[in-house]
Structure 1
């Protein structure tokens, strides 16, 4: 497919996991892709790599300006950068709440805000945010993370309403538990990693973790010009986790 031919895309947190899979897929479908990440050592080949911390407004503004300077435009923004948290409200300290919300929610707003002047000039402007299944269903020991992804759900709808008149479509993808480096780190820290992995698989009716490539395909579907009438949608890629009881 070459539906992104001539388009420029930015993927935050694109040096690993879902972000890297998304950046590579957009590249393969014709886009010129820039990856913004704190560590760009894992950025896929053929992409513009820019070091950027989404909690730093000046760094975000400079990174978006550099993308447009180097690639000539900006049409698609994938707000994938994020961090996780394990714990209940009782066990999650205030500074962890502040950092997680700054990265996951305010970071999404910062990047989009910097991109808006350029997106308004694009005939195929699209923003895709990274939500999560935990925005729809309660999961133990994920209080702060769930709150941040619930905020992304609401933010996506608000952004879609704010910018529909600008010709900018805003959607989100909500993965279930995915086979990513962050999830692997959680399993490595478990008392019984094999049992913990099996519990994660059983939590999803399909009986396995979601792959990064499956999430990337959903992101590309929403970002593609062929989805020109889709805005304000949250596409669940969760193996049935939020909708099926089997």
Structure 2
């Protein structure tokens, strides 16, 4: 079950965290994985990990906010069965403390980046018999989270784009779903805490972990397992849905 043999997948932001876990798992399941990543060195690290497991992967240095760069990379790849829009950045701030430049940067990477990948990828996906798109949204698209105005905006857009694409390309045999993780323990989270809460790392990590009713953060591999299912042929009857993977955050955090 859940074989991706013969399929070509693109994973944006596949150089670390959730994107790396998805890339490694997809390759393990037989897909040829192309890792689109601003940090080319990080992408190469993921490729090396995949090769150690006898998988097939390629690193592609690319700024997803540049449509020209994205089109060039996608056209070079030429074949596509699975697109995972995972690239994104975070931001702390409220509506009146977020500068225009900060807002624009979050929008350009998180929203325009996903749009660019869709714009470049859909013509290729239309040629696949089992095409699947998976967008990485967030619980921030579904519930209010303090000091995450721009980030929540961007993930709300991802949620809406998912529904729109699922509707528009159903006749082309393209499925489109999204995943909405709560806090997942990645190197990004550790760096985020160190940058914004210097000297309080252990306290903040414990606080963020306990905000999930299960009492811990998620693991990248847990998100990757859900991603694998949604992009596999076993999920062929599933499109136009968002899947929270949140340790009970949305429904049980009373």
TM-score band, normalised by shorter chain: over 0.9
Please tell me whether the aligned partners of residues 2 and 30 of structure 1 are also in contact (alpha carbons under 8 angstroms).
no
Deviations 1:155-180 (A, max 9, x none): 11011111111110000011001111
Please tell me whether the aligned partners of residues 13 and 37 of structure 1 are also in contact (alpha carbons under 8 angstroms).
yes
Instruction: Provide the rounded CA distance (Å) in 2 between the counterparts of 1:149 and 1:163.
Output: 21
- 2:161 aligned with 1:155, yes or no? yes
Note the aligned Cα RMSD (angstroms): 1.1
Residue of structure 1 in register with 2:58 after alignment: 48
Secondary structure at the aligned position of 2:183 is classed as coil
Aligned partner of 2:236 among 216, 222, 228 = 228
Question: Post-superposition shift, 1:2?
Answer: 5.7
Instruction: Provide the rounded CA distance (Å) in 1 between the counterparts of 2:100 and 2:253.
Output: 35
Instruction: Provide the rounded CA distance (Å) in 2 between the counterparts of 1:117 and 1:148.
Output: 24
Question: Post-superposition shift, 1:136?
Answer: 1.2
Secondary structure at the aligned position of 2:203 is classed as helix
Please tell me whether the aligned partners of residues 3 and 226 of structure 1 are also in contact (alpha carbons under 8 angstroms).
no
Instruction: Provide the rounded CA distance (Å) in 1 between the counterparts of 2:90 and 2:18.
Output: 14
Aligned partner of 1:95 among 101, 111, 114 = 101
Question: Post-superposition shift, 1:181?
Answer: 2.1
Residue of structure 2 in register with 1:218 after alignment: 226
Residue of structure 2 in register with 1:128 after alignment: 134
Instruction: Provide the rounded CA distance (Å) in 2 between the counterparts of 1:245 and 1:155.
Output: 27
1:1-246 equivalences in 2 (<5 Å): 3-43=3-43, 44=46, 45=48, 46=51, 47-68=57-78, 73-189=79-195, 190-191=197-198, 192-245=200-253
Calculate the TM-score normalised by the size of structure 2.
0.92
Please list every run of 5 or more consecutive structure 2 residues that lacks an aligned counterpart in the other structure: 52-56
Deviation above 3 Å: which 4+ runs of structure 1? none
Please list every run of 5 or more consecutive structure 1 residues that lacks an aligned counterpart in the other structure: none
Instruction: Provide the rounded CA distance (Å) in 1 between the counterparts of 2:165 and 2:216.
Output: 33
Calculate the TM-score normalised by the size of structure 1.
0.95
